[in-house]
A and B are shown apart, each in its own frame.
Chain A
Amino acid sequence: MGQGARKAQPNGIEVEGLVREFKNGPRAVDGIDLTVEPGEIYGFLGPNGAGKSTTVHMLTTLLPPTAGSARVAGLDVATQGAEVRKMIGAALQEAALDPNLTGREHMKLQTALHGLPKAQRARRGDELIERVGLSDAADRRVGGYSGGMKRRLDLALALVHGPRVLFLDEPTTGLDPQSRASLWAEVTRLSVEDGVTVFLTTQYLEEADQLANRVGIIDAGRIAAEGTPAALKAEIGRPSVEVLPVDPARRPEAEEILLRFGTAVPASGEALSVRLNDGIEVLAAIVRSFDSAGIELASLGLNEPTLDDVFLAKTGRHLEGAGEADSGEMPLPEAEPAGAA
């Protein structure tokens, strides 16, 4: 962060002191600094209203910053907007589509406006439609698409002109788990194989954790923490172990054993939990101790710190929706209409 006068890499992102203040409104973005390296997937994690979309709008030149500076692909978003827009692709929070056009007609329009040679337009459009799995629905009007299909078409449209930096604003919100996993895989491939820099906003911890090389946590317009998911989690503490004895009468003995390895922390229900003094290497010793004492366990779990713990440690509160994401539950899947690929 705060790289000073360092020049941005060709397709990286460099932001210094970026501010966006709305008239009679809040300071949606309040002086953020961040750097995204070329080819990196950067996860911008935060609750609703934290300033994620406003940041994306500024970085994609859709909204002028009130103060600060931002360079995308080495170009200033405030003074070189047209050049920036040639370098970037964006799939914004609401899939920006015309319900009256078909998927193929969207591709045709987008390829023409981006100046692809006529001979390439249909081929490029068909290729992208196929890659996002919409070939069967390509000639249907977008108004009849499910949310997931719209997202996929939105992504394909963002890639028409071969952007070097891709902005995805909450791209998996509302997607079913399968579509979400596919999109993750493709975003990863874009980064790894095509070297596209990806700036991805999300409110899902799991998404940031699995997809992003580095994560910036934003809250109330400010960056609360930044780093790789592993480094952020390591920064805030050690793992904890939670056990539940089969016989509730042996709970005090179990607690005594656990306290040899760490300090007590709140646990769920009747379980006991300690934050380990050392790393997870003591786990085998814990199991042996319970075995030696003849205490049978109904469950034993190792809890690594999560990004929600990071968020809690940095902001004093939980990230909205963290519970669903951590438990592996996804937002309600959408029914794909018949014919959806």
Chain B
Amino acid sequence: MSGAVISAGPGAAAPQAGGTDRSPLPIQVWAMAGRSVIRLIRQPALVVPSVIFPLFLLGVNAGGLNAATNIPGFPTDSYLTFAIGFTFIQAAIFSTMGAGQSLAQDIENGFFSRLVLTPMRPSALMAGQLAGLILMGQFQALLYLAVGLVAGADFAAGVGGYFVLAALVSVISIGFGGIGLIMAIRTGSGEAVQGMFPLMFVLLFFSSMTLPRNLIEQDWYRFLATINPVSYLIEAIRSLFITGWDGEALALGFGIAGVVAVLSIALAARSLKGRMLK
């Protein structure tokens, strides 16, 4: 350390002694979002599995379950086209864990306390945490779509459908990301956030991920898939691949994703206000 003086008070570039005014919300959001994206880019060990594993599962399903397309009433003759919608949802859920764990890590290592001691607004913290998640979702959407098209999947909605897909993936990411944030804020523990993972998998597997709901023979399974909101998210994305523009499926998908996003973000904000100081 040099022997020079650290000026805490007024100096060449020092602010007025006694603190500064609160910075505008957009500046805070931008600063936090930048940090979130940098963290994401610099942690490939966290990012790569959440990108690769859904693709791996897609490959296994598409290869092993193609015979399902022979079932009368199956909506397409390509199981890859049918199954790829699930990949986006699975990736979003993986990313959820990432957002929650990232915040829990901040709480555990004290960085959250440093942020709390600044005049930052809670909304800036949340928006910042979610920014990386949305970016990740967009990257995954583009990658999975490209891989799917190269592997022979149809994308009936065409170029315009990509933008709808990107928008839906963003809303879904915010919704699931909000759930991750709630867990992180309430528990302050990365392990607790990870503990959500099996629960999320249950939601995924008791959905219409492998078969259309009308073709599920077991009543109880069909019932669970019908009341499971994840089914409608998958079906909205799936519709862009198989049908093209299915207004009902998209409305349900956007509606449910929007409700989950609003509820989870509202709850996360409430929890965060409780944890941050008055």
Residues of A within 8 A of B (CB): 11, 60-62, 73, 81-82, 85-90, 92, 94-98, 100-101, 105, 108-110, 112-116, 120, 123-124, 127-128, 130-133, 141, 152, 155-157, 159-164, 166, 179, 182-183, 185-186, 189-190, 193-196, 341
Contact = CB atoms under 8 A, between A and B. Distances in A.
B35 A105 contact: yes
A62 B113 contact: yes
B6 A131 contact: yes
Contact of B117 (A11, A60, A98): A60
B31 interface: yes
Given A96-B110, A113-B119, A163-B19, 7 more contacts: A60-B117, A120-B13, A127-B14, A155-B6, A162-B20, A185-B3, A341-B2
A86 B19 contact: yes
B39 interface: yes
A9 to B, nearest CB: 13
B5 A193 contact: yes
Contacts of B34: 109
A105 B39 CA distance: 11
B38 A101 contact: yes
Interface in B1-43: 1-24, 27-28, 30-32, 34-35, 38-39, 42-43
B3 A81 contact: no
Range, interface on chain B = 35 or more
Given A96-B113, A114-B20, A186 B1 contact: yes
B114 A96 contact: yes
A128 B8 CA distance: 9
B36 to A, nearest CB: 10
Contacts of B17: 162-164, 194
B31 A124 contact: no
Contacts of B112: 96
Given A101-B35, A128-B6, A161 B19 contact: yes
Contact of B119 (A94, A114, A128, A155): A114
Nearest to A113: B118
Contacts of A194: 5, 7-9, 17
18 contacts: A62-B116, A82-B119, A85-B277, A97-B111, A105-B38, A112-B28, A112-B30, A120-B15, A127-B13, A130-B4, A131-B2, A131-B4, A132-B1, A160-B15, A162-B15, A163-B8, A163-B17, A190-B5
A138 B270 CA distance: 36
B271 to A, nearest CB: 17
A193 B14 CA distance: 14
Contacts of B38: 100-101, 105
Contacts of A162: 7-10, 14-20
Contact of A100 (B18, B28, B43, B118): B43
A265 B9 CA distance: 50
Nearest to A127: B13
Contact of B2 (A85, A95, A133): A133
Contacts of B106: 98
Contacts of A160: 15
B219 to A, nearest CB: 48
Given A98-B35, A162-B18, A163-B19, A81 B2 contact: no
B123 to A, nearest CB: 13
Given A109-B35, A194-B9, A196-B9, A133 B42 contact: no
Given A97-B111, A113-B115, A185-B3, A124 B35 contact: no
Nearest to A60: B117
A196 B14 CA distance: 14
B120 interface: yes
B1 A113 contact: no
B277 A62 contact: yes
B8 A98 contact: no
A110 B109 contact: no
B1 A133 contact: yes
B6 A132 contact: yes
Contacts of B27: 112, 115
B111 A115 contact: no
B35 A182 contact: no
A336 B32 CA distance: 30
Interface string B131-153: 00000000000000000000000
A115 B20 contact: yes
B8 A96 contact: no
Contacts of B28: 112-113
A89 B7 CA distance: 13
**Best-surrounded residue of A86, A105, A141 (most CB of chain B within 10 A):** A86
Contacts of B9: 162, 164, 194-196
A96 B119 contact: no
B175 to A, nearest CB: 25
Contacts of A190: 5-6, 8
A156 B6 contact: yes
Nearest to B35: A109
A112 B109 contact: no
Contacts of A115: 20-24, 27, 119
B278 A159 contact: no
Contact of B6 (A81, A159, A179): A159
Contacts of B111: 96-98
Contacts of A141: 42
